[in-house]
Amino acid sequence: MRGDHPTGARPARLGRRAFLGSAALGSAALGAAALAGCTSDEASGQGPGRRVPFLGDHQPGIDTPAAHFGLLAAFNLVSEDRARLARSLRDLTDEARALMEARPPERRDTAYPPAETGMLGPGGRTDGLAVTLSVGASLFDDRFGLAGRQPTELVRMPFLSNDRLDPAQTHGDLLLSLSADQPDVLLHALRQLMRRTRDNLVLHWMLDGYNRPDAAPVPGRTDNRNLLGFKDGTANLDITDKGLMDELIWVGADDGEPAWAVGGSYQAVRIIRMFVEFWDRTPLNEQQKIIGRDKASGAPLGQDRESDDPGYGDDPAGRRVPLDAHIRMANPRTAGTAGSRILRRGFNFSRGFDNAGRLDQGLAFVSYQRSLSKGFLAVQARLKGEPLEEYILPVGGGFFFALPGVTSEDAWLGQQLLA
Amino acid sequence: MGEADRVEPGAGGVGRVVAALGLGAVLLLAGCGKDDGAGVRSQGSASGSGTGSGTGSGLAGQDLSGTTNDQLVLKAVADYKTWVVAEVDGLVADTAKFTDAVRAGDVAEAKKQYAPSRVRWERIEPIAGLVEEIDGAVDARVDDFEGVDDPAFTGWHRLEYHLWEKGSTAGTKTFADRLDKDLATLDQKMKGLEFPPAAVALGPAELIEEVSEGKITGEEDRYSHTDLSDFAANVDGSRKLFELLTPSLQAKDATLTSEITAGFAAVDKSLSEYANPDGSFDLYTALQAVDKTRMQAELADLSEKLARIPGVLGLKG
């Protein structure tokens, strides 16, 4: 896998680039834009007019090009009424679509509150906004009669190695994952989505942050860095490789999952605090051994270029890349571990400081995979006890399932789940 | 309210508007803060108190210039004023029971009378906030001051602090006297106050905003924990306004009217779990997290719908 990790941040790895996909802008985005009826300007994939198509077999925001900013908002449901849940999902679908397609807001008399925030000005900017809706394991408890429809691996995220999960920022009935190239678009979208669903959705936790996606993504390289200062995204999956996405990301018809789940994806979210002051006091040599890459170039230790293979085959004793280096444990690059590669879509966060005066910074790790056990959990198990654990602390997140996409005008997210 | 009210002393009406909730703040930020709409400021609205002791409620910071010729609305406004004036009369009497107990040094009786004395205030809070300086003097919370010993910290919450935190009435006579005096002033001024139709239209949402901002968080009555009593009074005041406006609302937007009715019913049902036969409510500390969360959603949803009332009524500024 590239993937290195779950832990995020890891080091250099994955992040975005890959997923950004290289050619993504060229082919996928263009095609998508064309389908959405965008102008050629929008189709260029840049600027306020960039649109990510809403309709599709899969939800946007997963295998679509990475954006500069991300926001996660987890909600709990107030009502135990299944019909009301359906209404909320319909409203979320309609609002997400309106936001992503820049649908003009309803015009109202000035004696009414305005229909939208106005933050984006008239004319409707989208800036590559993608809204992704996922469900948590708790949705399948006894409230909505969905117990028999739970994805087979969707469980309440347990405490994993090194975890100190804070209930106030962990789990949730629903999760909205937003991404866009400008932060105001995210805040606008969040407010509009919440406004539509106030009677039933109550915020449980939220987190926002940023990335530095590559302008012209090339698999195997990235300029994106995490808050440890290492490249993050080098070995992420190539989202333009549809065969790879089908193999590793999307739940298939023969996976033994409920029929409604086909086309969806398991989503692992980990809020990983990084003790950056402590890290900054650590010798560079040690930092690089912990990660397994040269900090400046991103090259695997002992190699010249970021995109070079680490060459574990002729380094069985870990003389170049230590056996417990993050990239090596996360992705041993063996035939047996190829199936555990995951698609990472996280972002860096900074949210003030703790009561010890330490910066509260880290990585919102987000991964998508066809199977939690074969994907995230396999990677996480390999990373148990890695030296990096001393510098990081998972404090929240949860396991979710990203619903399949909406393919027709009148369909809504979760429709098959509730059918 | 004294919720957020106090902003830079001396900043004048505009400055404090920033602290106002909801629409008021939005309007100001949008650069359209005509908080003194025709004839309202002269009646005593959002002008600066000059004492730095907090000031009006959200309504005092809002644009109340919108008006209408709808006779049903104008009747509601007139009826509302009649009701409010009677409420203030009752408020003065209710509060006298509280302040008398304080002056008598009867801590137990004073504690017993504290929450009931506030009920009528909480029902009419936004409109009372239009009377200059009263809100900050009688209902400001300690957050508006440097500390509990600030002499400008007066009113119910100052007395609440002494009764619950110190368990004593020592040194509180001046505060009890001041509360009576301020409410007498309110009573007198309220009778002469012209009620802007916009205040009546915005009032229902404003009262629910009060609940969402201060009562559901337990910040209003932090020493006595009688927040749910204030909560219920805010809701009652909101519902009273809605009921008065219903004839006009029903004719113009029957769907919204029924949604609001259902919204009040949902809040009532949740709150009833904490109501006692004698009319009192359980302490805030008894509020279950799951119930609090549900109430927050019910209040937020109700706020969204109540906020449409001025639009439905077509109030023109």
Sequential DSSP letters for B264-292: HHHHHHHHHTTB-TTS-B--GGG--HHHH
Region B32-49: what's the mean pLDDT? Answer: 32
Task: For residues B174 and B154, give the distance between their C-alpha atoms in angstroms, rounded to a whole number.
Answer: 9
Determine whether A195 is exposed, middle or buried from the number of CB atoms within 10 Å of its CB (0-12, 13-18, 19+): middle
The pLDDT value given to residue B10 = 35
CB atoms B314 and A111 under 8 Å: yes
- How many structural domains is chain A composed of? 1
Q: How far is Cα B254 from Cα B312, in angstroms, rounded to an integer?
A: 10
Closest CB from A76, A113, A199 relative to B301:
A199
Q: Establish if B206 touches chain A: CB-CB under 8 angstroms.
A: no
C-beta atoms of A113 and B297 within 8 A: no
What residues are paired with A132 via a beta bridge?
A177
Rounded Cα–Cα distance for residues A44 and B81 (Å)? 61
Instruction: Tell me which chain B residues have a C-beta less than 8 angstroms from the C-beta of A113.
Output: 23, 307-308, 311
Which residue of chain B is at minimal alpha-carbon distance from A119?
B30
Decide if A112 and B310 are in contact by the 8 Å CB cutoff: yes
CB B287 within 8 A of CB B242: no
Cβ-based interface (< 8 Å): residues of A facing B: 76, 78, 108-113, 195, 198-202
The ipTM assigned to this model is 0.78
Q: Which residues of chain A have pLDDT under 50?
A: 1-44
The pLDDT value given to residue A280: 96
Answer positive or negative: Cα dihedral of B297, B299, B305, B310: negative
Q: Which tokens belong to A310?
A: 């680490």
Question: What is the percentage of chain B residues whose pLDDT exceeds 70?
Answer: 81
Position B209: which residue type? E
Token pair belonging to B30:
């949008």
Q: Does B301 contact A at CB distance below 8 Å?
A: yes
Give residue-wise pLDDT tens across range A236-249.
999 999 999 999 99
Q: How far is B297 from chain A (nearest CA, A)?
A: 5
B65 or A234, which is more confident: A234
Output the CA–CA distances (angstroms, integers) from residue A191 to A147, A186, A323, A355, in the order listed.
31, 9, 46, 30
Q: From the list B297, B304, B310, which residue is nearest A111 (CB)?
A: B310
CA distances to A48, A99, B30, B289 from A121, in Å:
11, 13, 13, 39
How many CB atoms neighbour CB A391 within 10 A? 17
CB contact, 8 Å: B165 with chain A? Answer: no
**Alpha carbons A242 and A394: distance in angstroms, whole number:** 31
Q: A199: which chain B residues are within 8 Å (Cβ-Cβ)?
A: 297-298, 300-301
User: How close B308 gets to chain A, by Cα (Å)?
Assistant: 6
pLDDT interval class at B317 (50, 70, 90): low
Domain boundaries, chain B: 12-313
Do B298 and A195 make contact, defined as CB atoms within 8 angstroms?
no
- DSSP reduced 3-state for B234: helix
Task: Spell out the residues 6+ positions from residue A13 whose beta carbon is closer than 8 angstroms to its own.
Answer: A2, A3, A4, A5, A231, A232, A233, A234, A235, A236, A327, A330, A331, A344
**Is residue A9 situated within a structural domain?**
no
- Predicted confidence at residue A10, as pLDDT, reads 35
Q: Where are the alpha helices (DSSP H) in A249-295?
A: 276-280, 284-291
Q: Which residues of A fall within a CB distance of 8 Å from B316?
A: 111
User: Could you tell me how far CA A49 lies from the centroid of its own chain?
Assistant: 22
**Probe site for chain A from B21, B23, B26 (most A CB atoms < 10 A):** B26
Q: Which of A78, A109, A111 sits opposite B293 (nearest CB)?
A: A78
Angle at B177 between CA B171 and CA B181, to 5 degrees: 155
**pLDDT tens readout for residues B255-312:** 999 999 999 999 999 999 999 999 999 999 999 999 999 999 999 999 999 999 999 9
Answer whether residue A290 is part of any domain: yes
CATH topology of domain B12-313: A middle domain of Talin 1 (1.20.1420)
DSSP string covering A307-323 = TS---GGG-TT-SSS-T
**pLDDT at residue number B65:** 77
CB atoms within 10 A of CB A317: 7
Give tens-digit pLDDT for B139-155: 999 999 999 999 999 99
For residue A355, give its domain range.
15-418
Report yes or no on A316 lying in a domain.
Answer: yes
Question: Quick check: is A128 in a domain?
Answer: yes
Give, for A19, the enclosing helix (H) or strand (E): helix A15-20
User: Can you state the percent helix, strand and coil of chain B, rounding each to 5?
Assistant: 65, 0, 35
Contact A112 B297 (CB under 8 A): no
